[in-house]
Amino acid sequence: MNYFLEITSLPDYPVKFGKNNPDIDNDIDLGKFINPSVLTEPLHYADANNSDLPWDTILQYDAMRSVSGGIIVSTRLKNLIDLQFPHQVQLLECDIAYRGHIATGFYVMNVYTKLPCYDLERSVYEKSAVDQSFDFEKIALIDGILEEYEIEYHIVRSSFDNRIVVSEAFKTVMEEYNINALEFSPSFVAEW
């Protein structure tokens, strides 16, 4: 079974992507592979000024969404991914400036592998006649392995709409190690 990966740290988006590396811009949000040679220093994230989240809470999250910069993960989660699911995602070093404090030891998770991991026969959607994009009302994930060219993946982006999808093995490891701020949903239904 496969699952949508949801980040449950609240409030959403307490930090924003800094301007220290304009070569990257929104590439992480879009799941574009980042050439490591363009990174001369850790990526910087700053207070988005949209929450009253205490500093200590930021440090306790294993995962958190950011404004225009993807998912920030703890060293603990980074090490677990490196050990259990090597070469599945890019983990780019970053620091966080928030409320007068600076934290190091965080990483940005760049999920750059894109696969068609939705079961279109069981999903409800409309396809645009103009640009061939999909507008999903309900999404059913494929039941099988997330794979391409006989390579099995455990964390990918949907090629249909950029949502992050993970395998049963990924979910099991995260739950076994009590990784916080992650939730796994077997389907998606639009709330309109």
Query: What is the C-alpha to C-alpha distance for residues 140 and 176, in angstroms, rounded to an integer?
Result: 25
Residue 44, number of CB atoms within 10 A of its CB = 18
- State the pLDDT at residue 192: 45
User: Please, which pLDDT band fits residue 186 given cuts at 50, 70 and 90?
Assistant: confident
Q: Report how far residue 186's alpha carbon sits from residue 82's, in angstroms, rounded to the nearest whole number.
A: 25
Mean local confidence (pLDDT), 15-35 = 80
Report DSSP state, residue 34.
P
Phi first, then psi, for residue 44 (nearest 5°) are: -115, 140
Q: Is the peptide bond before 11 cis (omega within 30 degrees of 0)?
A: yes
Would the pLDDT of 113 be above 70?
yes
Mind listing the pLDDT tens digit for each residue in 45-56? Answer: 888 888 888 888
pLDDT in tens, 145-160: 999 999 999 999 999 9
Indicate the average pLDDT of the chain.
89
Task: Give the separation between CA 39 and CA 24, rounded to whole angstroms.
Answer: 9
Q: Long-range contacts of range 82-85, CB-CB < 8 Å, 24 or more positions apart? A: 84/170, 84/173, 85/154, 85/155, 85/170, 85/173
